[in-house]
């Protein structure tokens, strides 16, 4: 009992609130950008389909069409890749595409090549969320660091508000703007607390994976990162093949025998055409959080083993479950809208938190206007970049150009004009224009 009193002592509450405020003040702007882009990127599969609506869609890609597609792919790129991937159709993304991680094409159901994969706006959005358009490792590490920031804000926020859970539905609607902002900030924090914690922890793990890998290798594996990966995800089997064509049909038949409930989502061929070639088929399993289990086959299509993502060490299962948990990559129709709404809640928490700080200031200056331009400018710039990408303008340039322009306008004219009202109307109208433009684009694509 004394421990509980000590934990919620006024001095500790005050200290937690002070820490919460300082962390939020320094990091809310970027945290808002990461959260709102993350809320939208949940629908990346739908966006990719909208960007190329003319691609043939189907639910099954025949195994006998894999080898001809691989042969043509090698001919097109002029070399045999170290690893070649074919991503199979799923319920959420009923298309097949082939890639080596650089060049990528969609495949028709008969195995013939369709258009090259070109999704500039969706790619821009995904990179904005995962690495803030910075060099990949640097950007991912920074975003991972913000997972820690979010976790710190959640814990300090809970500790700084002893009545947070008691006042679960307490909203002071007829009080000052600051009190209303405070109530909404606190209520959203509690309503989404389990989700917020999950996003913070998984986001930190994914973003900081490279750093954690290097630290673990340096501290426990004599700086051997390959040994760390093998310890976490398991090593490759020892194989000796003829280096001939792979019997894909037999491999899929063997997979069905090994695990009838496994649903293949992609396959990868390592070291194609050599004695060390290895076929891996990734498959989802029902009622499991892991992204997939990896089943491995020799070139005769005979089953070798599986990687143990579903039944291996608990650490391996946990690490391979973070992606689906963080991005809401589940088959249920309701998961993506739920993740989107919860992501918006996180974004609004950052906004309301900063608005509380602004409401406490005795005066308004350019910082208020810049924050207003940032909060409204990001979604407007995303929508404008999506509209202009339909006419082949670079979404990266349009996004940052629009955002900078809106920031400058708000800083320069925020005091003289009602920029907030203008941006609200601009966001609504741009969303309507995007819906109309995407509908027209999809109509003409279906007619061609």
Only one residue has tokens 């495949």, namely 107
With beta carbons less than 8 A apart as the criterion, state whether 170 and 183 touch.
yes
> Which runs of consecutive H residues, i.e. helices, occur in 110-208?
120-131, 136-159, 177-191, 193-207
Per-residue pLDDT of the chain (448 residues; tens, 9 = 90+): 444 444 567 778 888 888 999 999 999 999 999 999 999 999 999 999 999 999 999 999 999 999 999 999 999 999 999 999 999 999 999 999 999 999 999 999 999 999 999 999 999 999 999 999 999 999 999 999 999 999 999 999 888 877 776 666 666 666 677 778 888 888 888 889 999 999 999 999 999 999 998 998 888 888 888 888 888 777 778 777 777 899 999 999 999 999 999 999 999 999 998 888 999 999 999 988 999 999 999 999 999 999 988 888 888 889 889 999 999 988 788 999 999 999 999 999 999 999 999 988 888 889 999 999 999 999 999 999 999 999 989 999 999 999 999 999 999 987 777 888 999 999 999 999 999 988 887 655 555 5
Q: Where are the domains of the chain?
A: 363-448
- What pLDDT shows up at residue 260? 94
With beta carbons less than 8 A apart as the criterion, state whether 328 and 336 touch.
yes
With beta carbons less than 8 A apart as the criterion, state whether 422 and 380 touch.
no
> Which runs of consecutive H residues, i.e. helices, occur in 284-365?
314-319, 322-327, 335-360
- What pLDDT shows up at residue 9? 77
Structure tokens at 414: 């925020």
List strands edge to edge, sheet with 96-99.
113-116, 104-107, 96-99, 83-87, 263-270, 278-284, 293-297, 303-306
Under DSSP, the state recorded for 329 is -
Q: SS3 for 80?
A: coil
- Could you give the CA distance from residue 442 to residue 52 in angstroms, rounded to a whole number? 8
- What pLDDT shows up at residue 66? 97
- What pLDDT shows up at residue 447? 58
- Cα angle vertex 434, ends 433, 438, to 5°? 120
Is 0.75 surpassed by the pTM of this model? yes
How is 237-287 classified by DSSP, letter by letter? PP---------HHHHHHHHHHH-TT-EEEEEEEESTTSTT-EEEEEEE-TT
């Amino acid at each position: 009992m004394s421990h509980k009193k000590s934990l919620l002592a006024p001095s500790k509450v005050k200290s937690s609130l002070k820490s919460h405020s300082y962390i939020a003040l320094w990091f809310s702007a970027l945290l808002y950008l990461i959260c709102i882009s993350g809320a939208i990127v949940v629908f990346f599969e739908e966006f990719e389909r909208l960007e190329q609506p003319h691609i043939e869609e189907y639910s099954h890609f025949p195994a006998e069409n894999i080898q001809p597609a691989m042969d043509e792919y090698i001919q097109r790129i002029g070399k045999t890749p170290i690893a070649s991937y074919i991503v199979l159709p799923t319920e959420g993304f009923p298309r097949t595409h082939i890639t080596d991680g650089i060049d990528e094409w969609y495949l028709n159901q008969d195995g013939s090549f369709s258009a090259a994969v070109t999704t500039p706006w969706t790619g821009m959005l995904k990179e904005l969320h995962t690495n803030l358009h910075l060099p990949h490792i640097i950007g991912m590490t920074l975003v991972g660091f913000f997972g820690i920031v979010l976790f710190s804000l959640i814990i300090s926020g809970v500790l700084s508000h002893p009545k947070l859970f008691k006042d679960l539905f307490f909203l002071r609607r007829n009080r000052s703007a600051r009190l209303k902002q405070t109530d909404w900030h606190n209520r959203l924090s509690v309503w989404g607390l389990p989700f917020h914690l999950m996003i913070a922890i998984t986001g930190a793990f994914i973003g900081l994976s490279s750093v954690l890998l290097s630290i673990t290798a340096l501290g426990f594996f004599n700086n051997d990162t390959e040994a760390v990966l093998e310890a976490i995800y398991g090593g490759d089997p020892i194989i000796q093949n003829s280096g001939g064509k792979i019997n894909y049909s037999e491999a899929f038949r063997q997979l069905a025998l090994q695990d009838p409930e496994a649903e293949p989502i992609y396959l990868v061929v390592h070291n194609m055409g050599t004695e060390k070639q290895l076929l891996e088929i990734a498959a989802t399993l029902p009622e499991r959080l892991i992204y997939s289990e990896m089943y491995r086959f020799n070139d005769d299509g005979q089953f070798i083993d599986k990687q143990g993502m579903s039944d291996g060490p608990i650490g391996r299962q946990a690490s391979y479950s973070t992606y689906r948990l963080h991005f809401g990559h589940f088959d249920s129709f309701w998961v993506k809208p739920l993740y989107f709404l919860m992501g918006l809640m996180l974004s609004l928490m950052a906004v309301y938190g900063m608005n509380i700080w602004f409401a406490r200031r005795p005066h308004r200056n350019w910082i208020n206007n810049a924050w207003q331009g940032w909060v409204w400018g990001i979604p407007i710039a995303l929508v404008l970049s999506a509209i202009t990408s339909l006419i082949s303008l670079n979404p990266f340039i349009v996004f940052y150009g629009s955002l900078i322009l809106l920031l400058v306008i708000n800083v320069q004219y925020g005091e003289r004009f009602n920029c907030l009202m203008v941006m609200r109307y601009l966001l609504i109208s741009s969303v309507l224009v995007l819906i109309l433009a995407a509908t027209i684009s999809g109509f003409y694509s279906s007619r061609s």
